[in-house]
Amino acid sequence: MARLRDCLPRLMVTIRSLLFWSLVYCYCGLCASVYLLKLLWSIGKGPTQTFRRVAREHPPACLNDPSLGTHCYVRIKDSGLRFHYVAAGERGKPLMLLLHGFPEFWYSWRHQLREFKSEYRVVALDLRGYGETDAPIHRENYKLDCLITDIKDILDSLGYSKCVLIGHDWGGMIAWLIAICYPEMVMKLIVINFPHPNVFTEYILRHPAQLFKSSYYYFFQIPWFPEFMFSINDFKALKHLFTSHSTGIGRKGCRLTAEDLEAYIYVFSQPGALSGPINHYRNIFSCLPLKHHMVITPTLLLWGEKDTFMEAEMAEGTKIYVKNYFRLTILSEASHGLQQEQPDIVNKLIWTFLKEETRRKDWLFL
């Protein structure tokens, strides 16, 4: 009987693991079937249009706008990868490091590059596999441990030991992990529309609505097919993601201009440009939940209540993992791309957080 009691916890862990991976693979299959039907429907309506792709050889002028900063590169010694970033503000000022989400790149921080350069050395990074940063071929090179080490090594290469760290969406996930693993590197943490990773993994298993909203996580586990689906009809899915009423940027704020949209399409239409970003997601289920999860850094979490991809309840559940000052601000009329959609409000909230004393937990709804 005593032996059975000893074995029971391990048995429950094994059963839970089997159920979890069964869910992952079953949902992968379901998502693949849905997208395959969409592909067949598109081919049936117009095969020529389905496989049409416009050649984009030259970047839009907005990507070389000098008011956004200087394009720079740094090669990391350990991995040998070359990272691209855009920097604004004088060298020697405190570092503000910006980590973008999916499917984005450094340009998603254009409003913040202009805003914070007066007091910070603002660096908007292209994450591993994105934009002009090197993109390793194998999915194993995109494990969370590699992504965390990238940020640590980049800080060292830039000559800094700590920074104000800001992350949006997937970049928010990485920002949380940096604050957990290397708290001494983060003076203040600001995350936009991504909950603490443990909240995300626990919530998604208990709430079918969030499971549905995160279906692309499962779809991305399939080799090559997601990249192909993004590229058909001259990247129609990508354009829809940025411009539709449900997922687009600017529901009640700044919309993407035609040139902004073309900048995104240009970057992700380059040969192989989608594989690196999607590979980030192909390792996530083997890395979560986290063994260490407490955050001891002063933290600001900004959230768009109308986010199509993330339910607001996860934002409220994040506070239990922050053992320091924690401020949650939910913008009632905002969606997922806060820093692009409502840059003036977001920048003001960031300035307030950076300048205030951080001694208490606080929640604010706007």
Residue 81 tokens read as 């990868």
Check: CB of residue 338 under 8 Å from CB of residue 193.
yes
Q: Which of 281, 307, 321, 325 is catalytic?
A: 281
Q: Which of 100, 168, 196, 336 is catalytic?
A: 336
* Residue 99 DSSP symbol: E
Q: Catalytic: 336?
A: yes
Distance (Å, rounded) from C-alpha 326 to C-alpha 353?
Answer: 10
Q: Catalytic: 281?
A: yes
Q: Which of 257, 218, 86, 59 is nearest to 158 (CA)?
A: 86
The terminus-to-terminus CA distance of the chain in angstroms comes to: 57
Q: Which of 120, 124, 171, 189 is nearest to 353 (CA)?
A: 189
Distance (Å, rounded) from C-alpha 335 to C-alpha 37?
Answer: 29
Q: Are strands 326-331 and 361-365 parallel, antiparallel or unpaired?
A: parallel
* Residue 214 DSSP symbol: T
Distance (Å, rounded) from C-alpha 239 to C-alpha 228?
Answer: 15
What string of DSSP letters covers 107-131? GGGHHHHHHHTTTSEEEEE--TTST
Distance (Å, rounded) from C-alpha 202 to C-alpha 19?
Answer: 14
Q: Which of 134, 169, 260, 307 is catalytic?
A: 169
Distance (Å, rounded) from C-alpha 172 to C-alpha 191?
Answer: 5
Q: Catalytic: 169?
A: yes
Q: Which residues are catalytically annotated?
A: 169, 281, 336
